[in-house]
Amino acid sequence: MKKTKILSQILTIFEEISSVPRGSGNEAGIISWLQKRAEDNGFKCQTDEVGNVLIKVPASKGKEKSPTIIFQCHMDMVCEKTPDSKHDFLKDPIKLVYDEDILKAETTSLGADNGIGMALAFAAAEDPVIPHPPLELLFTVDEERGLTGAKALKPGFLKGTKLVNLDSEDEGVFTIGCAGGIDTHISLPLYYEEVPQNFTSYKIATGGMTGGHSGCNIHNERANAIRVLCRTLHLISGAIPFRMAYISGGTAHNAIPRSSETVIYLPEDKISELKKIVENCNETFSAEFKPTDPNLSITCAPFSGFPDRRAMNEYYSLKTVDLVLALPHGVAARSVEMPELVETSNNLAVVSVVNGCLEITTSQRSSVPSRLVGITSKIEAVARLAGANFKSGTGYPPWKPNFDSEFLAMAKAIFKKQFKKDAKVEVIHAGLECGLIGSIDPKMEMISLGPTIRNPHSPDEYLEVSSVEKVWKFIIALLKEIK
C-alpha cells in the first residue's frame, strides 16, 4: 500500500523502537532510547526509581493555557517466537515484514503491543505543525508481567488530568474500562528415584496451537497446550504405568500456552501401546480444536537425554497430571450487564520443573473484585488439596467505566465529526494500566484507543497499517480541539 508522509514517519519511529530489545524486565535499552530522544528534542525527561519515563512537551504557541494531555504507553513487549526461530530477545532487533496492509515480524511476536502506541505518542510530540496543548508522555516498564511499573507510580508524578492510553487494539473503539488481575504461583515438591532397568524414555510434545493474549483471546476457546498434554497423559495413565522426568509449557502469565512437552519413562513392552494412544489423542484433540487450532499436533519420540535415569515415582507423576487438570482454565463467567463481555477467567499459563519442584503460574482476571478473589481462592484450594505451596500476588484493580465522562463525550464528538460515524465504546477483559493510574488520581479522565492489532502475545501478531493513520487523524483532531 502507498504510505503517506506522516504514516511513513510513524512507522520509522516504530522501526527504531523495534530495533531495541525490550522484553519485560529487559527495558534498560529502551529507557536509554527514550531519554536520548527526549534530549534530542529538547524535552524535559524524568525517570523514576523503577524506570518509568515521563517526557514533558511544551505547548505549541497559543495553547500554553490549555489543559495538559497525557499519552500513556508501556515500553515492554511479550517475547514469543516459533519453535524453529533462532531469535535472541536479549540482543536481536525485531525483524519487520511488510505485506501490503499487514505488518508482522519474522518468526516472533511483533511488539506493536505497545510499540506502535509509543511511535504515535512521539509523532504527535515531535510534529512542528500540529497545534497542541502541553503534553506528558508516560512510558511504563514491565506492564506485561503484572503492571509493576504502573503500580510504582507516585501521586504527583503526572500533572495532567486527561489521559489517552494508546494500548488498545481495535481502531474505531474507545475502551473505558477493563478487568483487574491476580497471578498465583504454585510449587509442589516432587519425589525422584531411579527408574527400573526395563523402562525406556519417550518425549511427548504438544504444539502448533494458536495461543494468544489471555485477556483478548480467552473467550475464543483456543487450546491450551499444557492442558492438552496433561489430558493425553491422563489417558496414557489408564493403560501404562509411567514415570515423568519433567514437564514444561507456556512462556508468560498473559499468553495462552502454544506448546508443551514432557519426558516419561515406561516399560519397553508398552511402546507400541503408547504410540497408539498418542496417535488417537492427536486425532481426537485435532478434531476437537479444529476451528480454533487447525495446526494442533501431539507427537511422541524416543528420548535419550537423561543419563542418570531418574524420574518422579508413579505417585508423583500422576499427582502432577491431576493437579494441572484440576486447575481451571478459560472463561469462568460472563457479565450479566454486558453479556458480550467476559467477566471472570483464568489462564493456566506456565508449568515447569525447577530444582525438584513442580512450578505452576496461573493468571486470573475479573471486572468484579470479589469474583477475582473468588476464582483465586478456588485455585489456592486446589493447590492446598494437592499438598502444594502457593502464593498469590497483590494484583491490580479493575478500571471502572465512566460512561458520563466529559472527556469521553468530547472524544466521541470529535470522532463522529472526523469519520462520519460513531466510535464504539466498550469495556474489555484484558488488563490496562488505567485502573492503577485512576486509583492514584481519582480525578483522572481516561480513554484507551489504538490501531488494529491481531493475535498479540504470539508470533502471529500483526498490525493493520492503514488503521495507524486513522488513529493519527483522530489524535490530531483531539489535540486541536483541546482549548
- pLDDT (tens digit per residue) in 20-32: 999 999 999 999 9
What's the confidence (pLDDT) of residue 339? 84
Average pLDDT over residues 315-325: 98
> How confident is residue 146, by pLDDT bands cut at 50, 70 and 90?
confident
Specify whether 226 is located in the same domain as 78: no
> Do 189 and 284 reside in the same domain of the chain?
yes
Summarize the confidence of residues 182-208 as an average pLDDT. 96
* Count: domains in the chain: 2
Average pLDDT over residues 219-236: 97
Give first-to-last CA distance, the chain, whole Å: 36
* Residue 299, phi-psi category: left (phi > 0), alpha (psi -120 to 50), beta (remainder): beta
Listed residues 392, 422, 448: the one ending a domain: 392
> Do 418 and 303 sit in the same domain of this protein?
no
What is the residue whose three cell numbers read 523402562? 199
Higher pLDDT, 385 or 396: 385
Q: What is the pLDDT of residue 265?
A: 97
In the set 80, 113, 136, 143, the catalytic residue is 143
In a shared domain, residues 442 and 477: yes
Q: Evaluate if residue 2 carries a pLDDT over 80.
A: no
Secondary element (H or E) of residue 148: helix 148-151
Per annotation, catalytic residue among 76, 142, 171, 445:
76
pLDDT over 70 (residue 155): yes
Distance of CA 237 to the CA centre of its chain: 34
- In this structure, the answer to whether residues 186 and 288 fall within a common structural domain is yes
Judge whether 143 counts as a catalytic residue: yes
Mean pLDDT across the chain, nearest whole number? 95
Domain boundary residue among 392, 424, 456? 392
Same domain, 225 and 261: yes
How many angstroms separate the Cα of 255 from the Cα of each of 225, 301, 458?
11, 27, 8
Strand-pair category, 53-57 with 135-140? antiparallel
| Residues 187 and 166 reside in one and the same domain | no
106-115, 143-152, 163-172, 310-319: least confidently modelled range: 143-152
Q: How far lies 126's CA from each of 58, 122, 450, in Å?
A: 11, 6, 19
Residue 34 has pLDDT above 70, yes or no: yes
Among 370, 392, 414, identify where a domain stops: 392
pLDDT at 138: 98
All three cell numbers of 116: 506502535
Q: Is 314 a catalytic residue?
A: no
Q: What is the mean pLDDT of residues 160-172?
A: 96
Residue range(s) defining the domain that contains residue 192: 182-392
Task: Give tens-digit pLDDT for 397-453.
Answer: 999 999 999 999 999 999 999 999 999 999 999 889 999 999 999 899 999 999 999
Provide the H-helix boundaries in 215-352.
225-237, 271-288, 314-326
